[in-house]
Each structure stands twice: as C-alpha cells, then as structure tokens.
Structure 1
Amino acid sequence: RIRPSYVLRPTQKIDTLLQAIEDAEAEDDDEDDDEDGD
C-alpha cells in the first residue's frame, strides 16, 4: 500500500520540499543569521 504521505497534493509536495530546503539553509546559516527564532 502507498503511505498517505505519498498521496499529498503536488502543491503540498513542493511546499514540503521548499520547507526542507529552507530548514537546511537555516541550519547552514545559523551562525550568522538567527532571526528564525529557531
């Protein structure tokens, strides 16, 4: 069976992907930029 996470709408998949990229970049720039409140 296909897991529900794989049945997301295309836009939600893209949003999740972009969020993952932003999180990765945020971790990378965490030393210089901590405005995330993370």
Structure 2
Amino acid sequence: MADQQVALERLRELYREKNEHLEKFLEPVEPYEFYREI
C-alpha cells in the first residue's frame, strides 16, 4: 500500500514537471496558433 502511494506521488511529480516544460515550450507558439485559427 505504501509503495503504491509513493509511486503515485512520483508519477504526479513527473506529470507536473512535464506540464511545466510543455507550457514553457508552447507559450511562444500560442499567439501564432491562435491568430491562425481565426
């Protein structure tokens, strides 16, 4: 049970890190993508 909890916490951390990286990478692209769709 404890191991599963630790694994879930680790996964959550990894997802959070991944999302932060994706946001940093996608941020500059957003305005262009946004205007292209209008």
TM-score by length of 2: 0.57
- The structure with the largest alpha-carbon Rg is 2
Specify which structure has the higher proportion of helix. Answer: 2
TM-score by length of 1: 0.57
Structure 1 stretches of 5 or more lacking a match? 1-7, 34-38
Structure 2 stretches of 5 or more lacking a match? 31-38
Higher relative contact order (CA 8 A, sep 6+): 1
C-alpha root-mean-square deviation of aligned residues, in Å?
1.6
Q: Percent identity?
A: 4
- Please identify runs of 4+ aligned residues in structure 1 that moved more than 4 A: none
